[in-house]
Amino acid sequence: MFTTTPFSVWDLNDDLQNGLKSIGWEFSTQVQKDTIPLALAGKDVIGQARTGSGKTAAFGLPTMNACQATGELQALILTPTRELANQVAEELNNIQGDAGLEIMTVYGGTDLEKQARNLQSGVDIIVGTPGRVMDMTERGHIDLAKPGFFVLDEADRMLDMGFFPDIMWVVERMTGREQTLLFSATFPQEIIDAANEFMNEPDFVLTNTEKLDIPPIDQFSVRIGRANKLWVVGRLLARMSEEDQTIIFTNTKRMVDLLVQRLKKHRFDVEGIHGDMSQNQREKIISNFKEGNSSVVIATDVAARGIDVDGITLVINYDVPDDVDNYVHRIGRTGRIGRKGEAWVLVGRDDIPQLNKIIATHSLEIEATDAPNLPDGMTRDPVKKQEDNAEAADVFGMVPIKLETTSMSKYAIVNQITSSLNCSELAVGDIVINDDHTVVEVHNKHASLAVRSFNAKELPASIIEI
């Protein structure tokens, strides 16, 4: 991930160089090496950069190098979410050293009047979301004619979230704009068209255009039905040490809430974060996680944008993501800056095509495996495994059962099931007598009981996993 190019070779001011030294940053990442010299030369830059690539410093260092601590607005950085705005502002403050730049966040979900008062006291760099920046501009609290430096971060997510009209509104009012940096993980045609419209002969920095930056971590998939996903999660969390931190991803806000409720019931200390929570709630949870006061966070993809924690050692994909790139964004939360980590994905039968698409798109090596063993000294599962035959059932709910016999007639098999389970013959489907075994279909509702019934009669039976 890192190159052999040190930050010291670039003409960054002394405060920034000292700030980098103070936090132990010596060598640049690839996107930083490719972007910073162009930006320092005053050129417009379009950069391909993804989560965990070091892109914040790639645009942050040239931005801060172009600014003075005057209390006059000189640079505007737009991000798609409030969490990402906070993350960017925090990183810039960490690396600015003694430059004394006033860096403020401007986003919705917080007290507008308080933000206005803060801006009136003086600001050098604004990091904000498009909607609130527009609002504050219309109210006269931001003068977009002032900043000469403009950064657009995660442009593709801006496009997905419908922010591009807002961005163009902002750009049109930045009459003093002299330099623009645009970063995006992917490049839909709309982004290329827009960039050509408001950028001045930009240089393209396409780092790793072939594929996303895959962290050097171990990746595993577990084939499991929805009823037992929690059982696997329990085993994964039981393996954590006191220093480990875990993030669990789901596709919906509802599932975040359900997982928090169920895991707390099983005595796991977890917190959930999603877009329906108040800004204060989310910031408190993110702060606790960053400071190491909590070890497990359950999140949706959008809410997790503000979680930038180096200590994450385990990522669990409770749901397979709907977007192929989101899988890599998720696992990029661990293995940060060369650290080791693991990523697990829980896969139901219906998820297999999507997981195969993710693997093929990004040339991933994901090892199919069983749920991990319990750690040494633990004899009971934190979450009890449920009987779940849904994964083996067909679309009609019929589960195939293998009988290690060929001596029973079809009539005798049906009679054994209906009489011992006190169920209708409709619960029994096709019966195929092969050379060395028999396969009988039984409805999911009765399948496990049917297996036990045959085994009790010393007729070995087992469910056939499809």
Distances (CA, A) of 402 to 269, 437, 451, 459: 42, 7, 9, 10
282 against 465, higher pLDDT: 282
Span 58-91, pLDDT tens digits: 999 999 999 999 999 999 999 988 878 888 898 8
Residue 97 shares a structural domain with residue 162: yes
Euclidean distance between CA atoms 341 and 255, whole angstroms: 24
Q: Which helix (H) or strand (E) holds 127?
A: strand 125-128
Is residue 92 assigned to a domain?
A: yes
Q: Determine contact, residues 405/437, Cβ cutoff 8 Å.
A: yes
Say how many domains are in the chain: 3
Euclidean distance between CA atoms 182 and 154, whole angstroms: 8
Q: Which residue, 292, 295, 249, 290, is CA-closest to 273? A: 249
Residue 98 shares a structural domain with residue 53: yes
Residue 343 shares a structural domain with residue 459: no
Residue 209, pLDDT score: 45
Residue 439 shares a structural domain with residue 311: no
Residue 77, pLDDT score: 97
Residue 29, pLDDT score: 86
Domain range enclosing 237: 218-369
Residue 360 shares a structural domain with residue 451: no
Residue 407 shares a structural domain with residue 310: no
The pTM score is 0.56
Is residue 391 assigned to a domain?
A: no
Give the number of other Cβ atoms within 10 Å of residue 93's Cβ: 17
Q: What's the chain's average pLDDT?
A: 88
Residue 263 shares a structural domain with residue 195: no
The 10 Å CB-count burial string (b at 16+, else e) for 144-171 is beebbbbbbbbbbbbbeeebbebbebbb
Euclidean distance between CA atoms 219 and 335, whole angstroms: 11
Residue 244 shares a structural domain with residue 132: no
Residue 196 shares a structural domain with residue 56: yes
Domain endpoint, select from 331, 353, 369: 369
Residue 237 shares a structural domain with residue 338: yes
Domain endpoint, select from 206, 237, 264: 206
CATH code, domain carrying 256: 3.40.50.300
CATH code, domain carrying 414: 3.30.70.330
Residue 332, pLDDT score: 83
Backbone phi, psi, residue 182, to 5°: -125, 130
For 356, residues 6+ apart whose C-beta sits below 8 A from its C-beta are none
Is residue 117 assigned to a domain?
A: yes
Question: Percent of the chain at pLDDT above 90?
Answer: 55
Euclidean distance between CA atoms 428 and 441, whole angstroms: 6
Span 14-35, pLDDT tens digits: 999 998 988 788 889 888 999 9
Residue 153 shares a structural domain with residue 292: no
Span 251-302, pLDDT tens digits: 888 899 999 999 999 999 999 988 677 767 888 898 899 888 999 999 987 6
Q: Is 269 exposed, middle or buried (0-12, 13-18, 19+ CB in 10 A)?
A: exposed
